[in-house]
Structure 1
Protein backbone atom coordinates (compact mmCIF):
# COMPACT_ATOMS: atom_id res chain seq x y z
CA UNK A 1 0.00 0.00 0.00
CA UNK A 2 1.43 3.35 -1.04
CA UNK A 3 1.70 6.28 1.36
CA UNK A 4 -0.48 9.32 0.75
CA UNK A 5 0.79 12.87 1.13
CA UNK A 6 -1.22 15.97 2.09
CA UNK A 7 0.16 19.51 2.22
CA UNK A 8 -0.93 22.76 3.84
CA UNK A 9 1.39 25.72 3.53
CA UNK A 10 4.82 24.67 4.81
CA UNK A 11 3.43 21.46 6.36
CA UNK A 12 3.44 18.02 4.75
CA UNK A 13 1.59 15.08 6.32
CA UNK A 14 2.38 11.58 5.11
CA UNK A 15 -0.09 8.83 6.07
CA UNK A 16 1.15 5.25 6.11
CA UNK A 17 0.50 1.83 7.68
CA UNK A 18 2.78 -0.32 9.80
CA UNK A 19 2.14 -4.05 10.40
CA UNK A 20 2.21 -5.18 14.03
CA UNK A 21 3.58 -8.46 15.39
CA UNK A 22 0.08 -9.68 16.35
CA UNK A 23 -1.17 -9.57 12.73
CA UNK A 24 -2.95 -6.23 13.11
CA UNK A 25 -2.03 -2.89 11.54
CA UNK A 26 -1.35 0.60 12.85
CA UNK A 27 -1.88 3.91 11.07
CA UNK A 28 0.90 6.49 11.31
CA UNK A 29 1.22 10.13 10.20
CA UNK A 30 4.55 11.86 9.78
CA UNK A 31 4.20 15.65 9.85
CA UNK A 32 7.06 17.64 8.35
CA UNK A 33 7.41 21.40 8.72
CA UNK A 34 9.80 23.13 6.35
CA UNK A 35 10.91 26.07 8.44
CA UNK A 36 13.56 27.25 5.97
CA UNK A 37 16.43 25.99 8.11
CA UNK A 38 15.59 22.36 7.43
CA UNK A 39 12.53 20.22 7.98
CA UNK A 40 11.20 19.43 11.46
CA UNK A 41 9.41 16.08 11.73
CA UNK A 42 6.82 14.82 14.21
CA UNK A 43 5.26 11.35 14.15
CA UNK A 44 1.66 10.74 15.24
CA UNK A 45 0.05 7.34 15.70
CA UNK A 46 -3.58 6.33 15.44
CA UNK A 47 -4.70 5.28 18.93
CA UNK A 48 -6.12 1.85 18.06
CA UNK A 49 -4.79 -0.94 15.89
CA UNK A 50 -6.88 -2.24 12.99
CA UNK A 51 -7.55 -5.76 11.67
CA UNK A 52 -6.74 -4.81 8.07
CA UNK A 53 -4.22 -2.53 6.35
CA UNK A 54 -7.05 -0.78 4.50
CA UNK A 55 -8.81 0.17 7.74
CA UNK A 56 -5.55 1.33 9.33
CA UNK A 57 -4.82 3.42 6.22
CA UNK A 58 -8.25 5.09 6.40
CA UNK A 59 -7.60 5.91 10.07
CA UNK A 60 -4.18 7.37 9.20
CA UNK A 61 -5.69 9.53 6.44
CA UNK A 62 -8.36 10.82 8.83
CA UNK A 63 -5.68 11.64 11.41
CA UNK A 64 -3.64 13.52 8.80
CA UNK A 65 -6.71 15.59 7.88
CA UNK A 66 -7.38 16.40 11.56
CA UNK A 67 -3.77 17.42 12.18
CA UNK A 68 -3.59 19.68 9.14
CA UNK A 69 -7.04 21.09 9.90
CA UNK A 70 -5.85 22.29 13.31
CA UNK A 71 -2.88 24.20 11.87
CA UNK A 72 -3.29 27.95 11.53
CA UNK A 73 -1.15 29.50 8.82
Structure 2
Protein backbone atom coordinates (compact mmCIF):
# COMPACT_ATOMS: atom_id res chain seq x y z
CA UNK A 1 0.00 0.00 0.00
CA UNK A 2 1.42 3.36 -1.01
CA UNK A 3 1.72 6.01 1.71
CA UNK A 4 -0.63 8.95 1.42
CA UNK A 5 0.49 12.26 2.90
CA UNK A 6 -1.19 15.60 3.39
CA UNK A 7 0.66 18.84 4.06
CA UNK A 8 -0.15 22.26 5.40
CA UNK A 9 2.72 24.68 5.77
CA UNK A 10 5.41 22.97 7.84
CA UNK A 11 3.16 20.07 8.89
CA UNK A 12 2.84 16.68 7.21
CA UNK A 13 0.11 14.21 8.19
CA UNK A 14 0.45 10.57 7.20
CA UNK A 15 -2.62 8.38 7.76
CA UNK A 16 -2.17 4.67 8.38
CA UNK A 17 -3.71 1.60 10.01
CA UNK A 18 -2.74 -0.57 12.93
CA UNK A 19 -4.08 -4.06 13.52
CA UNK A 20 -5.45 -4.66 16.99
CA UNK A 21 -5.07 -7.86 18.98
CA UNK A 22 -8.74 -8.76 18.45
CA UNK A 23 -8.30 -8.71 14.65
CA UNK A 24 -9.97 -5.35 14.09
CA UNK A 25 -8.22 -2.25 12.77
CA UNK A 26 -7.68 1.29 14.01
CA UNK A 27 -6.75 4.32 11.96
CA UNK A 28 -3.73 6.36 13.03
CA UNK A 29 -2.19 9.62 11.88
CA UNK A 30 1.45 10.63 12.24
CA UNK A 31 1.78 14.40 12.30
CA UNK A 32 5.30 15.69 11.64
CA UNK A 33 6.51 19.25 12.05
CA UNK A 34 9.17 19.78 9.40
CA UNK A 35 10.87 23.02 10.45
CA UNK A 36 12.44 21.97 13.74
CA UNK A 37 16.12 21.12 14.02
CA UNK A 38 14.94 17.87 15.53
CA UNK A 39 11.73 16.92 13.70
CA UNK A 40 8.74 16.44 15.99
CA UNK A 41 6.25 13.64 15.34
CA UNK A 42 2.97 13.12 17.17
CA UNK A 43 0.73 10.08 16.68
CA UNK A 44 -3.06 10.42 16.83
CA UNK A 45 -5.47 7.49 16.94
CA UNK A 46 -8.98 7.37 15.49
CA UNK A 47 -11.38 6.96 18.43
CA UNK A 48 -13.28 4.02 16.95
CA UNK A 49 -12.20 0.69 15.50
CA UNK A 50 -13.07 -0.83 12.13
CA UNK A 51 -13.64 -4.30 10.76
CA UNK A 52 -11.60 -3.68 7.59
CA UNK A 53 -8.29 -2.06 6.70
CA UNK A 54 -9.88 0.15 4.05
CA UNK A 55 -12.50 1.50 6.46
CA UNK A 56 -9.84 2.25 9.10
CA UNK A 57 -7.69 4.00 6.48
CA UNK A 58 -10.59 6.18 5.36
CA UNK A 59 -11.20 7.18 8.98
CA UNK A 60 -7.49 7.98 9.38
CA UNK A 61 -7.58 10.15 6.26
CA UNK A 62 -10.56 12.05 7.66
CA UNK A 63 -8.72 12.56 10.95
CA UNK A 64 -5.64 13.82 9.09
CA UNK A 65 -7.76 16.42 7.29
CA UNK A 66 -9.39 17.45 10.58
CA UNK A 67 -6.03 17.85 12.34
CA UNK A 68 -4.52 19.91 9.53
CA UNK A 69 -7.69 22.00 9.30
CA UNK A 70 -7.35 22.98 12.95
CA UNK A 71 -3.72 24.14 12.60
CA UNK A 72 -3.26 27.87 12.26
CA UNK A 73 -0.11 28.97 10.49
Deviations 1:13-51 (A, max 9, x none): 000011111110010000000233121110000001100
Q: Determine the structure 1 residue equivalent to 2:65.
A: 65
Q: Determine the structure 1 residue equivalent to 2:18.
A: 18
More strand by share: 1
**Runs of 5+ consecutive residues of structure 1 not aligned to the other structure:** none
Distance of 1:3 and 1:19 partners within structure 2: 17
Q: Determine the structure 2 residue equivalent to 1:51.
A: 51
Query: Between Structure 1 and Structure 2, how many residues are aligned?
Result: 73
> Superposition RMSD on alpha carbons, in Å?
1.0
Secondary structure of 2:61 counterpart: helix
Secondary structure of 1:4 counterpart: coil
**Runs of 5+ consecutive residues of structure 2 not aligned to the other structure:** none
**TM-score normalised to structure 2 length:** 0.93
Deviations 1:49-70 (A, max 9, x none): 1000000000000000000000
Runs of 4+ aligned residues of structure 1 deviating over 2 Å after TM superposition are: none
